[in-house]
Amino acid sequence: MESDVKVPFHRPSIGEEEIREVEATLRSGWLTTGPRTHQFERDVAEYVGAPRAVAVNSATAGLHVALAALGIGPGDEVITTPLTFCATVNTILQVGARVVLADIGPDGNIDPAAITRCIHERTRAIVPVHYAGLPCDMHAIWQLAQRHRLFVIEDAAHAIGARYYGRPIGAMHGTHSDAVVFSFYATKNMTTAEGGMITTADTRLADKMEMLTLHGIDHAAWNRYGAAGSWYYEVQACGFKYNLTDLQSAIGIHQLRKLESMHAVRTEYAHRYQKAFSQIAELETPPDDPRSRHAWHLYPLRLNLETLTISRSQFIEALRDAGICASVHFIPIPLHPYYAAHTDLRGDSCPEALKLYPRLISLPLYPAMTPEQVQYVIDSVIKIVHASKRVTAVAVPGENERVHALVAAD
């Protein structure tokens, strides 16, 4: 039987500042892309350390626009990870390119050695995903990209607030990617309800992406002829309708100001989980890396299934019975019917992702949780583990089955 929800999977942290700014935007008469979106772009650019930031109405739109603006299309191959949200793969397919999956490493991120094996003469770009908010091995990825003249577009949907060797993800000084795409979807580390941002160091690329977010309309032409008549515009590309509104940016401006304090709470809660679960043989805690600052967007706990009598989905059901909502990130790309039927993406390209997938449970982790809720999740997980421990007193093959047959006969 299902009890009442005690710990939802997510709750956004929206304060009075966001509410007042949205109200002020509504009263200002300027609802769509305008002064607040431009401020939000400047604020994100400054926060991560990038010369340009282009606002978009989702990270999906950001990935699509970045791929299109870099000229990636039919005949090209783009390498990405199997352990990601479908948007990463869909946008590559939508520009007409072929997706190639490079398997994950022990940290759950794309494995540079696997990328190396996937590079061919048609490869044009790498789209690494900072899984759960843990930065990928970017030095290895940038090195491969330089050697093979590939673009790098980071899917940083989980990674606003993350740092790599002390530098924010999205930063554009020193060695850097061509574009970094953030998500401000409702469940992400900061939100505009729906929204995203692309950072880049390349002014021409930024201008092109900006143009593509608004039908391919050329702003420069508008400005050139604006004095003569503001009705004039030129369509310079077959663009999209991907612009972020000032109503959304009104939320984002204040979310960004709270990001550091929200990240501190996430980190504290994640460390509580890490401390509690690292003691338990039936569990494996999600990897961290001392060279990076984890954004802790997700807490993907790993079950040591061979030590448990229940499956991952039974574990999730037991959590639900305790009023705790958990999730799974992600169903590996080749397991989805669409890719199986309409692409050449197959599971044999990513055995590590397929092996990890049945072990993954994302526990609730967000700053709106109370410390009591965090403790309740810890206690509940441990209780479920104790109730479903596999009896492994004797390490003789066949012995487990015999022990269980005896227990079952009881």
Ligand X SMILES: *Cc1c(COP(=O)(O)O)cnc(C)c1O
292 forms part of the interface with ligand X (CB under 6 A): no
Cα distances (Å, whole numbers) of residue 199 to 96, 210, 218 = 23, 11, 20
Which CB sits closer to ligand X, 84 or 243? 84
Which CB sits closer to ligand X, 132 or 172? 132
Site string for ligand X, 121-150 (x = CB under 6 A): --------x---------------------
Which CB sits closer to ligand X, 90 or 388? 90
**DSSP single-letter state for residue 406:** H
Site string for ligand X, 147-176 (x = CB under 6 A): --------x-xx------------------
111 forms part of the interface with ligand X (CB under 6 A): no
Q: How far apart are CA 383 and CA 377, in angstroms?
A: 10
Site string for ligand X, 340-369 (x = CB under 6 A): ------------------------------
- Annotated catalytic residue within 188, 258, 275, 383: 188
Longest dimension (CA), the chain: 90
Q: How far apart are CA 297 and CA 217, in angstroms?
A: 35
85 forms part of the interface with ligand X (CB under 6 A): yes
Which CB sits closer to ligand X, 72 or 384? 72
Taking the complex as a whole, the smallest distance from the CB of residue 129 to ligand X amounts, in Å, to: 5
Q: How far apart are CA 270 and CA 264, in angstroms?
A: 10
Tell me if 154 sits within 8 A of 110, measured CB to CB: no
Which CB sits closer to ligand X, 82 or 239? 82
Among 161, 196, 239, 300, binds ligand X (CB under 6 A): 196
How many CB atoms are located within 10 Å of the residue 202 CB? Answer: 17
Bridge-based pairing of strands 77-80 and 123-127 is: parallel
Q: Where are the alpha helices (DSSP H) in 149-217?
A: 203-212
Which CB sits closer to ligand X, 104 or 310? 104
Among 51, 49, 59, which Cα is nearest to 205's? 51
Beta strands in 40-150 (DSSP E): 52-56, 77-80, 98-101, 123-127
84 forms part of the interface with ligand X (CB under 6 A): yes
Q: How far apart are CA 69 and CA 229, in angstroms?
A: 29
Q: How far apart are CA 22 and CA 244, in angstroms?
A: 14
Site string for ligand X, 35-64 (x = CB under 6 A): -----------------------xxx----
88 forms part of the interface with ligand X (CB under 6 A): yes
Q: How far apart are CA 250 and CA 76, in angstroms?
A: 38
Chain-centroid distance of CA 305 in Å reads 26
Tokens of 261: 């304090």
Taking the complex as a whole, the smallest distance from the CB of residue 153 to ligand X amounts, in Å, to: 11
183 forms part of the interface with ligand X (CB under 6 A): yes
**Is 258 an active-site residue?**
no
Q: What residues make contact with ligand X under the rule CB under 6 A?
A: 58-60, 84-85, 87-88, 129, 155, 157-158, 183, 185, 196
- The residues assigned a catalytic role are 188
